[in-house]
Every structure is written in structure tokens, then in C-alpha cells.
Amino acid sequence: MTVRPARKQATLAGMPIMVETSELYRRLAEAAAEGADRERLREMVSGPARPDAAARTAGLDLAHLRAWFYANEKSTLGEADLNGCVSRAYGRSLAELVDAPEFAAARAELSDRLLAAALRGDAEGTAERDLLDAKLLALAASAEAAGQERSLGDVMSAPATLPSFLGRLAPAPASAPAPPAPAERDDEARAWLDDLGRAHRELLRLVHDDRHLVFSSVTAAAVPGAAEPPEAASAEPTLSADAVAGLGEETRGVLDRLGLLAGDLRPFRAIPAVEAELHHAAGQVAADVRPAGTLAFDGGEIDLDRFHRAMNAPGEGLAAGPPPPAPQHSAAGVADLLVVRQKIKAYELGEFAHVENIMAGETRERSTRRLTQVEVTTEDETETETEKERDLQSTERDELQNEAEKHVKSQLDIEAGLQVSGSYGPAASFSSSVKAGSSTSTEESQRKASSFSQEVTQRTAEKVRERVRSLVRRRTLEEFEETNRHAFSNSFAKHVRGVYRWLNKVYDAQVFNYGQRFMFDFVVPEPAAYYLYGLVENPPQDSELVKPQAPAMPDGQPLRPSYLTRGNYTEFVARYRVVNAPAPPPSTRTVTFSDKQDGTTTTNFGRAGKIDIPEGYTAKSVTVQATHLFEAGSVHNFHIVIGGQLYIYTDIFGAKSGTASGEKELSISIAVTALCWSVGVDVECVVTPEAEARWQQSVFDAVIAAYQQQLAEYNERAAQRELQRSTNQQFGRNPLVNRRVERDELKKWVIMMLAKKPDLNLDSFQPPVPKTPPEPVLDLDKANANGTFIRFLENAFEWQNMLYVCYPHMWGRRARWISALNITDPDADFAAFLRAGAARVQVPVRPGFESAVAYFVYTGNIWDGNDVPRIDDDLYVPIIDEITTNLGKLDNGVPYPAGSKPWEVVVPTDLVLVQDVSDVPPLRDALKPAAPVALADGSEDGRDDAAADAPAGSGAGHEVASGR
């Protein structure tokens, strides 16, 4: 059905309700004549709130006129007696009321209010009453010309006309091309990452080239009281002035941003700083970790990678230029509503899909078993033992011994005794005696001893024992076993042949005419765009099968180990979910050595040893710090040899730097004649290209291993799904459900185009309150406004009679063509909808809503009342009049053309039916056109298969061989 444009025809003049002398009317008319668009006029009518109902008609109360209208709606004008009503209500005649200044002011105020409602909408809900009041005042002003015999209702039902300039407004100016958006954060981070990578490579190149290093010294005379060097001085090697001047612009920008360009450029400090910033910047760049994959939905599939590329692709071809000026609304016209009704009638056998042959006595059975077992055992053991022992003993002894001895001894002995004896009687006797003695002896002894000795013993024992053992064991056992006993067994003595044939649907289709309708015609681009987007972003459960993409660079080149850098390897690690990815080795490392000797006498000392260089690094510079003490006027020497280069510190102390070369170790020897001394050595090492290549290879191996693991999982799941498909045939979705999906998607796009809203987001809830449960709370004002919008668009159109046809994918974005070709579905119509590049849609207006829809299209506002004002426009008026004066409106559809009968429509399907080969028409042999084929199972037309089958088979083989 094609919508035809409205035919221009004579129409009844509408009731003039606008007062062209009002201030707002004049300003709007002048602005429209100067080319102002609708938005400009809306800005002109926006302002402070309107006066209340009592004051909005300039002091003229129109309630009396409204009451008179409702009481006399079915009467003639003569019977209604407008003069009497005015005389009773306002105390003056009708002519005096019309000539009164308040009458003119009331008409001007109502005119302005209706103009404002037409431009910005009826937010106050008074437009219907204002229109009635404006009509009543217009009737009062022209009562004599209206005719006294006409019905008051008929006079007032004449549509009111709004100014014609509302229908001839200039289209909204095409929005100027948006200025280029500033670089997003990710783009800035990626550019900064690239600059850091370039600076890092350039600095390493200069360090590897020894010609660009400048070695310096910071020393002072080893004499007491001599001037000491400044504390801020350093002997670290720097880059030469020519090397700094030759740095690239990006490298200079990086060094300046990191604060490394001021003063001397010390590469062994700059490189680690750049490396740390490189590591940080790599984490700020958003890696595209979306894998390529296949999305299955209800029997169809879509390639995710191509879909995302199509969604993000810039405009190409015809769409790359500026679009043509868009009309204010979609094409509208009048047409008979012709609807094709179809009903399933039968199924029809189609062509052969497959032939299955089971020979006599043959049995075939399919069984599938898959077992994936991965076992990885990695054992690394490192043992390092270092033992160093040094024993130094020094003894000094001074002894002073004086000895004197004096011994004094004194001894006194006293002895006394008394003895008495006697007797009494002849036998008694008595005797007495006294005894005394004295002895003296003196002895003196004194001894003094003094001894001084010093013994120094220094013993150094260093023993390092390191043992590292790393054991990684991973065992993955994944077993999938499915036994599909789809067996073919032929126990008969003859061959069995089964034919699978396609099934087609046969419909009875007929066109029905539902009368004329006010029709809108749209061309919707890519009608399934949002449906596919929803499937990709929120796929059905267990429907997404992700196929990993082979590692490649952004330009499509296959990944190579040399392409991996410190800045981009994290993207591959994230994309392929690499576990235990090796971190890049530091570009520079510092190895130190130190030795010292304490003493109080001038002695000759000698040391010899080595400085181990880490594996994968090479020494580039040596910085020696040395100092010693010696007695004034005595012989002293201080010589250090490192890696074949001599450093003399006999009369100085401080730091010196020099070149060094070696990838495993550097020898060091020290010869000193002094009281005490100390030496510290810093060896700056740079990673070798071989070590960098080994790291790149290890990351590459890890990425490839992760990719192969994901690919194996994908292949396993794909095989499982394919097996399931072969056993459980995919029937897709009910076609009636698909038709509903198609209509809902098309309805959504049509409403957006009708309402000129590219984003249909009707939010009727209040925003959530912070720190409270996010419960949905209605916003009543929004809910009422959205409800009015929804109710009007749902009721004003016959969505159930919407007609549409899908156009091929070539009318959509070119970047989407390949993706559209891969979309399939058992429902052929739904597959066409999903692949469509555009769709033509015709939507009929529900009878009775023609004026309201036309008003909505012209003004963008919804008229909720019954008496809709019309725009005085050449297109507006004929369409409405043609619809409203249609005498052939049909309530129910009738066949079109009259007396027509249904016709059959054959629709192909993906269904197959097994049929015995004997049921098909006779087969012909291309080598024997005159004779029908004889089959061993007796299905040949009345012939003996046993006699005909074997010779025919051997003869056919012979003839084919000879023909070749």
C-alpha cells in the first residue's frame, strides 16, 4: 500500500479566534517572517507565570457565556438569544459589550494564551476552556453574520484556526558540526605511553654507545686542612652535550616533564625514572580486552568482533557527507488501509535435502568421546654457596716490671706458771713454784709489678648459602563424553533408502480493505540495531561462545616477539588472561663492592677479588669512591685497578668514574700503603639486547600458550554445541513471537521519529537520595506528563495495523554489511529483519484522532481536548477534511478487490521430513535415459529389481569408466 498525498479541495472556513492586533501575535508573526524557527518562537513566549483564572480575561468574566452555551447547545442561535444573555449578565447590549475595551483586551489575552499553548504546550491544562472562551467571543463579535437558523452546536463545532505562520515555520537550522572533541583520557595516556617508549629506547641506545658518556671526578687533596669538594657534586657519568642536543623532540618533552632535563643528564638516573613512569602509564591505557566471538540466539548467530567494529566505524560512502535537510515530520497522506491476512493452510514437500542409504545387513552407530588432559610439571632448583674467610692478627706488647720485697714479722711468746703442793698429817706435804718466758720476731715484705700489652685480632668470615627451589605442577583433566546412539540398522535382506526432504509452509493470503486512513510513512534505518545491541551486551544465558582472536598488532600484523615492548605487553596479558607473565627486566642495575682496613701504623696492604655482573647485563661505567689516612711525611700509596683501568688515590680522596666492560664479572685489585683506608665501587650495568629478546620471547610464549588454551576450550565448546545441534535440532522461536519483536522495535523507532526525540527515556521516578536504599519513588509531575505522552501515542495510532517491509543490508552502514551477512535464523522473515539496512513503515491514525495527530506533528504538543484547533495550512486542512468527510469508512475489513479470493503463498523452512524413496517420483538414470531406475527393494515400476539392479549397477560402472 502506498500513501498518496492529500488532494487540495474546498474546505469550510474555520472560526477566527486570533486577534492580529495583540502584541504577542505581532511579535511572533514578525519573527516567523524573518525566518525564526519553532525553538525561537518558544523562547519568545516563555516567561513568568500567567495570571489566574479570574484575571486572565482582563476583568471580563466569561462564566456567564459558557453557562449560556451549555444550556443552549442544541438550540438555534435565534432561540438561544445571545443578546438577552449578555444583557442579563453584563447589563449592556451585545453591541455595547463588543465595543467595550475589556472585550478587546479579553480576546487579545485569550489569543496570546492559545498561541503560547500551541508553541510550548498546555502545561496548565486550561487550553480547552480558553479555546471555548475564544470561540464564544468570536461568535459574539460576528453573531449577525452567523445566521439565526443555524444550531449553536454546529456553529461552535467549526474548527478554530491558528495563524498560518505556525505551519510555515522555517526548519530548525542544521546543527553545526561539533568541534573536535578534546582527546580523551585514554588517548592522552596512549600518546604519553608512546612518547615514554621512544624516550626509553633512545636513552638506552645512547648508553650502549660508549662515545656519548662523559666521566667525571670529584676529588680533593688528601692533606689535612685541604679544601673539600662541595657536597652536591657527583662523579656519576653524564651524557655529552652533543648527545643531549641530538635528542628527539618527544624524548626532550618526556625528560622535561619528568624534571630530568635540568642540568646534566645522568642516564643511569633518567632511565629508571622513565621506566617507572612507563610502567605507570601502561596501567592507565585502557586495553581492549573484548574477544572476538560468536553469539548464538534462538538458532541465529552474530560475529561479535565484526559487530563492534561496525558500531564504532565512522561514516562511509554516501553517509560521509552532510545529510539532506530533514523535513519537519515524516511523509503523511491518505490511503486505504489494506492489510494482508494470511493463515497456515498446509505443508508442502520440497526438494531433496539428504539421502540416507543403509545396505542390507549394515549397522552404523555414532559415538563421540573427547578427553583433554594437560599435565605440566616444572621444577627449577638453584643453589648458590659462597664462603669467604679472612683472618688478620696484630699484637703489640710493652712491659715494665719493677719488683721490691720487704717482709716484717713480729712474734711474742709469754709463758707463766704457779705450782703449790703440801700435805697434812704424817702424810701431808706441800710445794710451790713460779715460771715466766718472753720471745719477739719481726718480718716485712713488699712487691710491685707493672705490665702493658696490646693484642688485636680481626677475623672476618662470610658464608652465603642460597638455595632456591621452584616447583610448579599443573594437571588439568577435562573429560567430555556423550554417547549419541543415532544408529542405522538394516536387518532386512534388501537395501533401505531414506530421503530427507525440505518442508515448505503454504499459506492462504488475502488483502482486506479497512477504509481510508490518515497514514504516516517512515523509513527506519537498521530496524534491528538496538535489538542486536541488547543481545550483544546482555546475551541470553549460555548462548555466548567466544572465539579467541589470534594475537596481532593493531594494524593486523601477526604478533612477533620483537613487537612486544614494555608499554604494550600488558595489553596482551590482559586480553588473553596470561598467568605468571614474566615482568620486563630493569634496563639498568647497579652492582656494588666495598672493602676497608683499619690500622694505627703504616702497613702495606693488598686485596684482589671480583665483582659479579648479573646475568643478562653488561657493565658500562664504574664509579670509585676511595679515601685513606697516612702519617705526614711518610711513604704512602693507594692504587686501585678495576677491569683493567687504573685509579690512583695516593694524594687525593673522593670519587672518580670511568668506563667498564664485561658481562659476567670485573676483576678488582687494591694496593695500599697507609694507616687505614676504605674503597666503595658502583658498577652501572645495562641490560643486553639478548636478555631483552629473551624476555620478549618468554612473554610471547606465555601469550601464545594462553591463546592456544583458550582456542582449545573454544573448539571443545564449539564441538559440543555442534554435536548438540546435530542431535537436538534448533527450532528457533515461534514466528508469532518474532513478529511481536519486530513490531515493538519498529514502534520504538517510529515514536522517536514522530516525537523528534532521539533518546526515548521516560523517567518517572525521583533521583535516588545518597546514603539511602535506592527504592523507586514516583515523581508525580513527571509521571503525569509522561502518562499523557504515552496515552496519546498509544491511542492515536492503530499500531496493530502497522505495515512494514524490510530492505536489504546494503541500505545500512557499510561497516555492518559483513556482520549482517552472517546473521541467520530459522524464521526467514525474522532473519530479514535482523539483516535489514532499512525498513519502510506505514502507521495508520486511529479514526477520530486525525486532528490531534496533525496538531501534534505541527506543534510538537499534545491536545488533550476534543475541539482541536487547526493550522491554517494548505496541507493540514485538506488531509483532515478528506478523512472526516470520508463516506466509505469501513468498520470491518472487506476483501480487496471486491470478490477476490485468497491465494497461496509458499514459504521455505529449515524443517526436513524423512520419506521412503519408493514414495518419490520415478528416478531416471542419466546414462540410460530411456529406462527408469530399478531399485533392489522392489520400488521400481512393476519390474523385477533382482534382475535389473545388479546388471545396471555393473553396467553403469563400466560405462562411467569407459566414458572417462
Kindly state the helix (H) or strand (E) to which residue 235 belongs, with its residue range: none
pLDDT at 13: 57
Residue 614 per-residue DSSP state: P
pLDDT per residue over 665-680, tens digit each?
A: 999 999 999 999 999 9
Contacts of 488 (CB under 8 A, 6+ apart): 356, 358, 362, 363, 364, 365
| Closest alpha carbon to 204 in 289, 274, 282, 280 | 274
Contact 351, 452 (CB under 8 A): no
Q: Which residue has the higher pLDDT, 222 or 543?
A: 222
Biggest alpha carbon distance in the chain? Answer: 209
Cα distances (angstroms) measured from residue 732 to each of 304, 316, 349, 591: 20, 34, 20, 69
pLDDT at 938 over 80: no
pLDDT at 955: 35
Cα separation, 291 vs 297, in Å, equals: 18
pLDDT at 592 over 50: yes
pLDDT per residue over 115-152, tens digit each?
A: 888 888 887 778 888 888 888 888 888 876 667 778 88
pLDDT at 838 over 90: yes
Confidence of residue 929 (pLDDT cuts 50, 70, 90): low
Sheet with 665-674, edge to edge strand ranges:
603-612, 665-674, 637-642, 645-648
Task: List 377's β-bridge partners, or say none.
Answer: 473
Phi, psi of 199, deg, nearest 5: -65, -40
Contact 789, 757 (CB under 8 A): no
Task: Give the mean pLDDT of 453-462.
Answer: 53
Q: Which residue has the higher pLDDT, 925 or 300?
A: 925
**What are the cell numbers at 372?**
583433554
Q: Which residue has the higher pLDDT, 729 or 87?
A: 87
Cα separation, 786 vs 213, in Å, equals: 74
Contact 885, 479 (CB under 8 A): no
**What are the cell numbers at 408?**
716484717
pLDDT at 328: 43
Confidence of residue 177 (pLDDT cuts 50, 70, 90): very low
Cα separation, 649 vs 276, in Å, equals: 37
Length of the chain in terms of residues written: 964
Q: For strands 544-545 and 331-358, give the pairing.
A: unpaired
Contact 604, 665 (CB under 8 A): no
Identify the sign of the CA torsion 131, 137, 138, 140. Answer: positive
Strands (E) located in 257-330: 294-297, 300-303
pLDDT per residue over 792-832, tens digit each?
A: 889 889 998 888 999 998 998 887 887 777 777 777 888 89
Confidence of residue 841 (pLDDT cuts 50, 70, 90): very high
Q: What is the mean pLDDT of the chain?
A: 75
pLDDT at 635 over 90: no
pLDDT at 591: 93
Cα separation, 67 vs 61, in Å, equals: 11
pLDDT per residue over 184-232, tens digit each?
A: 566 788 888 889 889 999 998 998 887 888 888 888 887 755 556 556 5
Contact 464, 402 (CB under 8 A): no
Task: List 525's β-bridge partners, or say none.
Answer: 838
pLDDT at 524: 92
Burial class (CB in 10 A: 0-12, 13-18, 19+), 430: exposed
pLDDT at 64: 86
Task: Give the mean pLDDT of 953-959.
Answer: 34
Which runs of consecutive H residues, i.e. helices, occur in 585-731? 689-727
Cα separation, 384 vs 113, in Å, equals: 96
Q: For strands 488-489 and 363-364, give the pairing.
A: antiparallel
pLDDT at 618: 93
Contact 622, 659 (CB under 8 A): yes
pLDDT at 806: 93
pLDDT at 81: 85
pLDDT at 369: 66
Burial class (CB in 10 A: 0-12, 13-18, 19+), 518: buried
Contact 697, 581 (CB under 8 A): no
Task: List 364's β-bridge partners, or say none.
Answer: 488
Give the CB-side neighbour count of residue 750, counting CA atoms within 13 A. 27
Where b means 16+ CB within 10 Å and e means fewer, 248-269 reads eebbebbbeeeebbeeebebbe
Kindly state the helix (H) or strand (E) to which residue 788 belongs, with its residue range: helix 780-796
pLDDT at 458 over 50: yes
pTM here is: 0.57
Q: Using omega within 30 degrees of 0 as the cis cutoff, is the peptide bond preceding 770 cis? A: no
Q: Which segment, 54-68, 452-466, 835-849, is predicted with the most confidence on average?
A: 835-849
pLDDT per residue over 738-793, tens digit each?
A: 888 999 999 999 998 888 888 788 888 888 888 777 788 888 888 888 888 898 88
pLDDT at 512: 81
Sheet with 588-597, edge to edge strand ranges:
217-221, 652-659, 617-629, 676-687, 588-597
pLDDT at 108 over 80: yes
pLDDT > 90 in the chain, percent = 13
